[in-house]
C-alpha cells in the first residue's frame, strides 16, 4: 500500500479492518488471538449468545467453534479475575488466559498462575500478603474515596476474589486520580478500562460510568502478551489482539495487529490511545458481532494462505 495509506492509519480514528493496509498479512500469519471479553467478545449483559443489541444470536459462539476447529488459539486477556476466566475459558474450549489486566498469567488448565507486579520491589508485599492487599494497606482506596467522594467506588461484585489489581467504577479525571495515587509509597497506576453499564451503582451524578483498574506500575496487557508469546516460542507476527478500551489498544505494542470493536470508537480514551499507532484497526460491527467480523476475516485469510501455499486454485 502507498505510504499515504499507512500514514492515515496512524492519525485519526483506526481504519476499518477490511480497509487496513496491514490486515491481510497480519491475519494470514497469526495463529493466536488475545481477546478482551466484556464489551468485545460478549454482548450486552456479558452474554455470549447475543448480538450487539442483546437479541439472541449464535454468531459469536459459532465463530469460536470455527476458530477452534481450525486449530487457532484464543487467549482471553481481561480485567476479570482468575476464577472467572478459568470458567469462561473452559466454556469456550480454550486453555490458557491472562487475568487482571496482565497481572495474572495462567499458562494452561491446572497450571499455577504467574503473578506480575511490574516495577514493584520484592519487599512491596509483606509475607503472606497479596499485591491486592498491599494496595489497600498503602491507602489506594482511601485516597481515591477522599479525593473523589461519590464519583468512584469498588465495582461490586467484581472487586471480589482478586489477587493483584483492584477494579473500580465511576467517572474521575484520570490525571488527577493518578496524582492522588502518586502520593502513596507503592507505585500504582490507574487505568481506564472503558465504558460500562452496571445495572446498579452508588455513584452520585455520574451518567457515563467507566471501569478503572489499579495496577502495579509497569504492568500492561501488552507486557503480559510478550511473556506469553515467548513461552509459546512465538513472536508478535504470530499474534492478533482485540478489545474495546484504551488499555486494550496498548496490546498493539506486542502483536501484529490490534483490532477494536466499533463500539470502542465512542470512547475518547480509545481514540487517544490509538492515535499514532499504525497497527490498530476497527471492526464495522459492534461487540460480539465485531468480534465475529474479525474471526471471519482471520479464518478467510488463513484459508487463502493455505490455499495458495498448497497450489490449490483460488
Q: Which is nearer to Mg ion, 244 or 267 (CB)?
A: 244
Of 178-186, 238-246, 271-279, 290-298, the window that binds Mg ion (rule: CB under 5 A) is 238-246
Whether the bond between 117 and the residue before it is cis, its omega within 30 degrees of 0, is no
Of 99-107, 218-226, 236-244, 249-257, the window that binds Mg ion (rule: CB under 5 A) is 236-244
Indicate whether 289 belongs to the interface with Mg ion (CB under 5 A): no
- All cell numbers assigned to 274: 490509538
CB of 263 to Mg ion, least distance (A): 10
CB of 24 to Mg ion, least distance (A): 26
Contacts of residue 5, Cβ cutoff 8 Å, sequence gap at least 6: 21
CB of 36 to Mg ion, least distance (A): 4
Of 17-25, 38-46, 115-123, 223-231, the window that binds Mg ion (rule: CB under 5 A) is 38-46
Pick from 38, 192, 267, 289: which binds Mg ion (CB under 5 A)? 38
Q: What is the DSSP letter of 22?
A: T
Q: Which is nearer to Mg ion, 38 or 228 (CB)?
A: 38
Pick from 244, 267, 278, 289: which binds Mg ion (CB under 5 A)? 244
H runs (alpha helix) in the chain: 3-10, 23-29, 59-69, 82-92, 131-138, 140-147, 174-181, 221-232, 246-249, 268-274, 287-310
Q: How many CB atoms lie within 10 A of CB 244?
A: 28
Q: Give the residue closest to Mg ion by C-beta.
A: 39
Q: What is the DSSP letter of 245?
A: S
Pick from 14, 21, 39, 59: which binds Mg ion (CB under 5 A)? 39
Q: Which is nearer to Mg ion, 20 or 210 (CB)?
A: 210
Angle at 98 (CA atoms; ends 195, 19), nearest 5 degrees: 60
Q: Which is nearer to Mg ion, 23 or 101 (CB)?
A: 101
CB of 82 to Mg ion, least distance (A): 17
In degrees rounded to 5, what are phi and psi of residue 14? -60, 145
Surface-to-core class of residue 119, CB atoms within 10 Å of its CB (0-12 exposed, 13-18 middle, 19+ buried): exposed
List interacting residues with Mg ion (CB under 5 A): 36, 38-39, 244
Amino acid at each position: 500500500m502507498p505510504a499515504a495509506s499507512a500514514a492515515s492509519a496512524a492519525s485519526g480514528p483506526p481504519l476499518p479492518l477490511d480497509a487496513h493496509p496491514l490486515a491481510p498479512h497480519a491475519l494470514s500469519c497469526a495463529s493466536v488471538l488475545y481477546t478482551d471479553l466484556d464489551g468485545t467478545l460478549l454482548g450486552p449483559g456479558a452474554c455470549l449468545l447475543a448480538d450487539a443489541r442483546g437479541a439472541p444470536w449464535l454468531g459469536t459462539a459459532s465463530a469460536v467453534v470455527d476458530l477452534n476447529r481450525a486449530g487457532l488459539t484464543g487467549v482471553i486477556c481481561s480485567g476479570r479475575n482468575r476464577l472467572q476466566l478459568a470458567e469462561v475459558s473452559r466454556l469456550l474450549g480454550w486453555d490458557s488466559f491472562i487475568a487482571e489486566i496482565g497481572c495474572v498469567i495462567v499458562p494452561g488448565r491446572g497450571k499455577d498462575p504467574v503473578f506480575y507486579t511490574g516495577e514493584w520491589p520484592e519487599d512491596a508485599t509483606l509475607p503472606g500478603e497479596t499485591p491486592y492487599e498491599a494496595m489497600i494497606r498503602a491507602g489506594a482506596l482511601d485516597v481515591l474515596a477522599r479525593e473523589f467522594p461519590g464519583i468512584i467506588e469498588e465495582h461490586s461484585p467484581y472487586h471480589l476474589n482478586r489477587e493483584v489489581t483492584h477494579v473500580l467504577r465511576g467517572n474521575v479525571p484520570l490525571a488527577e486520580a493518578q496524582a492522588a495515587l502518586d502520593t502513596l509509597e507503592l507505585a500504582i497506576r490507574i487505568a481506564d478500562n472503558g465504558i460500562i453499564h452496571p445495572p446498579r451503582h452508588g455513584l452520585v451524578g455520574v451518567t457515563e460510568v467507566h471501569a478503572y483498574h489499579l495496577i502495579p506500575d509497569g504492568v500492561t496487557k501488552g507486557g503480559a502478551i510478550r511473556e506469553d508469546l515467548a513461552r509459546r516460542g512465538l513472536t508478535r507476527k504470530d499474534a492478533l489482539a482485540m478489545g474495546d478500551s484504551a488499555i486494550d489498544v496498548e496490546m498493539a505494542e506486542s502483536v501484529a495487529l490490534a483490532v477494536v470493536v466499533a463500539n470502542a470508537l465512542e470512547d475518547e480514551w480509545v481514540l487517544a490511545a490509538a492515535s499514532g499507532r499504525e497497527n490498530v484497526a476497527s471492526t464495522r460491527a459492534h461487540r460480539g458481532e465485531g468480534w465475529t467480523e474479525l474471526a471471519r476475516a482471520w479464518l478467510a485469510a488463513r484459508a487463502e494462505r493455505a490455499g495458495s501455499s498448497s497450489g490449490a486454485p483460488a
